[in-house]
Amino acid sequence: MKILVLHGLNLNMFGKRDPAQYGTATLAQIDDQVQALGRELGATVECMQTNFEGAMVERIHLAHSDGTAAVVINAGAWTHYSYGIRDALAILKCPIVEVHMSNVHAREAFRHVSVLSDIVRGQICGFGVESYLLGLRAAVSAASAGKA
Ligand code: DQA
């Protein structure tokens, strides 16, 4: 089972960025943990990060026909305003899980809005790196249910 884990803009700065919100793990360390859990769950995980909206949209488009069984996405600030990312995700038929390291609902008002929330299967936020791991478990389970 192929799972695509997408990280949006500024997330390459995890480890250096606002540790009170995001902890100290780097994106490479997060990806290592996600890959390790993927192996445990019997899934092949591809992780991708970009700061460019068009590049993210194009990677999402590929997921339409490359056998991706589910997507886990932390869209960073795009979550709050990018109809382009939303429209691209909405084209996909597979389950999508939205994740955030921080509890976006306990932060500034603009972070309380997700333009993705009604097209994703669910949102997991506030658990740091664990948000990704829970998101991956949810994605594998949703994809397996879809196959049954
Ligand atoms: C984030 C939360 C967003 O509001 C923010 O813009 C980010 C990271 C998170 O993982 O908590 O870049 O998605």
Whole-number CA gyration radius for the chain? 14
Query: What is the model's pLDDT at position 148?
Result: 53
Task: Report yes or no on whether pTM surpasses 0.85.
Answer: yes
* Residue 22, pLDDT above cutoff 70: yes
Atom of ligand 1 at shortest range from CA of 74: 13
48 alpha carbon – ligand 1 mean position (Å) = 16
Which residue's alpha carbon is nearest to atom 1 within ligand 1?
76
Query: What is the model's pLDDT at position 146?
Result: 75
Query: What is the model's pLDDT at position 105?
Result: 98
Ordered structural domains, the chain, with CATH: 2-147 (3.40.50.9100)
Helix (H) or strand (E) holding 69, with range, is strand 68-74
- In this structure, the chain runs to a length of 148
Which residue's alpha carbon is nearest to atom 6 within ligand 1?
77
Q: Is 22 among the residues known to form the active site?
A: yes
Please name the residues in contact with 30: beta carbons below 8 A apart, sequence gap of 6 or more: 14, 129, 132
How does pLDDT run across 79-121, given as a tens digit for each residue? 999 999 999 999 999 999 999 999 999 999 999 999 999 999 9
108 alpha carbon – ligand 1 mean position (Å) = 11
